[in-house]
Chain A
Amino acid sequence: MIIADRKPLGEILEMIEPCNTLLILGCKGCVTVCNVGGQKEVEVLSSLLKIARKKEGKEIRIDEKAIERQCDPEYIDQVREMVGAYDAVMSIACGVGPQFLSEAYPKQKFFPGVNTTFMGGAVQHGVWEERCAGCGTCVIHFFDGMCPIARCSKSLLHGPCGGSDHGSCEINKDVVCIWDKIVRKKMENGRLSDLLEMKPFKDWRTARDGGPRRRIREDLT
């Protein structure tokens, strides 16, 4: 899923500084699962902002809502009656949400309430890790199910580099050296020879480097 972090409260307060009315709009997709942008977080953020503004002596009216998904026009359409009545709408979906909303409601001002960070999953309660870089050409089968593009700090196809230290990456002891894991798994399974082959130069056209991506499924259009 897509992982996000709530923006710092100070930054959000600065964004909404001129507003007297605000709608906080959550999303019941990924950001609900990673506890940052669902119904519950809409309510929490709303309370925090109201308290902060009251303290400043500038009370604000905030309405709260969460929709099924903000990456789908069908659901975006469900708030047609609401938007337009506020000085601003704050989406706490991933970065797709405020853009789909802006496209659907060009006259309304939208703010992003979260920083969208990566594609990953929860490795334990409250801890999420990156797993996919969305490069458009999956290669994890060459690396026993681990992606060096997303998980090696240098995206090396022939690691581990000289900075691999007791299973940790050179950039930080808390960052796993995925190449250490790949090598150990290959050795344990007698597949070391896989790592001696030269991997072709990666074609980054399928990644963001090829320009913004669009997918058309003729059978569905």
Chain B
Amino acid sequence: MMDTFKSGSRLEKVLRSGHFAFTGECGPPKGANVAHLKEKMAHLKDMVDAVNITDNQTAVVRMSSLAASAIMVGEGMEPNYQLVCRDRNRLAIMSDILGAYSLGIRNMLCLSGDHQKFGNFPEAKNVYDIDSMQLIAMVKKMRDEGRFINGEDIDVPPRLFIGAAANPFADPFEFRVHRLSAKINAGADFIQTQCIYNMDKFRKYMEMAVDMGLTENCYILAGITPLKSVRMAEYMAGQVPGMDVPVELIDRLKAAGKGNYAEEGIRIALEQIAEFREMKGVAGVHLMAIEWEHKVPEIAERAGMLPRPSL
């Protein structure tokens, strides 16, 4: 039988076969500490279907997502290679895409990237030669037409499963689902959302997405970041643009009492996962346990996500 997969990645196969997907996240180290990176990755092995490798997230310099993704491939795991438009022009991006595929990477998340103002080099020049929408279209053209965006042929096109991000909580809310539809039209095979805390708003967003037929052409993975503390919740609510943390959620965390915040945060995440599994149009969960990779096995187990499907 002919292989009809776009990329043949595990994530693609899991989604195509109708399983509820489960992806994780791993931030590369602030240095070349490969041992530490492998240790962080090990917590996620067999717990998730693919692991996002972040690209200088919040504009803080770290080991390149390309290198860390390749290391992950070497560890027998599947990365979801993140790439932002902030730091590289179209030449570098196309070159990195070819390099990524050559190194065995099969999933890629196309992002514009946080502004460098947030990071540790705010004085840097940014690039933004293209944006995330165009990046999606670029990867699709390279993969499906075997051409660079200038029309030149590619000698062995990169077969990548194309991901994109969506933030249902950024403004203007009414436009968000339209932007999602534009990303899907541009070529996104799957979407990972920003961390969801406001469930009411997300339910509404998903209803709109389902009504517009968007979930028929694209897999949507709901983003979750378990809250570790009241401080973290308050920081997310007040300091992170485009993040929506309802005050009731912070109150619930507080009510759990000192020493129980992390457990309460995990319980909230588990309740969310349970709801997402039943929610129309949601094809999986993307768990961003920031600097909490070692908790992923516990969360996966308690959420009933294990074992992951063997394909």
- State the A residues within 8 Å of B (CB): 153-168, 170-172, 177, 180, 183-184, 187, 192, 195-196, 198-199, 201-202, 204
Contacts and interface: CB of A to CB of B under 8 A. Distances in A.
A41 to B, nearest CB: 28
A168 B170 CA distance: 10
B132 A158 contact: yes
Contacts of B129: 202, 204
Contacts of B90: 201
Given A164-B171, A180-B172, A198 B131 contact: no
Given A161-B112, A180-B172, A154 B178 contact: no
B133 A158 contact: yes
A170 B242 contact: yes
Interface of B: 85-86, 90, 112-115, 117-118, 126, 128-134, 137-138, 149, 165-167, 170-172, 174-175, 178-179, 181-182, 185-186, 194, 241-242
B181 A166 contact: no
Given A162-B165, A165-B241, A196 B181 contact: yes
23 contacts: A156-B112, A156-B132, A158-B133, A158-B182, A160-B171, A160-B179, A161-B170, A162-B170, A162-B242, A164-B171, A164-B172, A164-B242, A170-B115, A171-B115, A180-B171, A180-B172, A183-B172, A183-B175, A187-B174, A187-B175, A201-B90, A201-B149, A202-B129
Contacts of A177: 171
A183 B241 CA distance: 18
B182 A201 contact: no
A167 B112 contact: no
A159 B242 CA distance: 13
B241 A198 contact: no
B175 A158 contact: no
A204 B114 CA distance: 22
Given A184-B172, A204-B129, A162 B178 contact: no
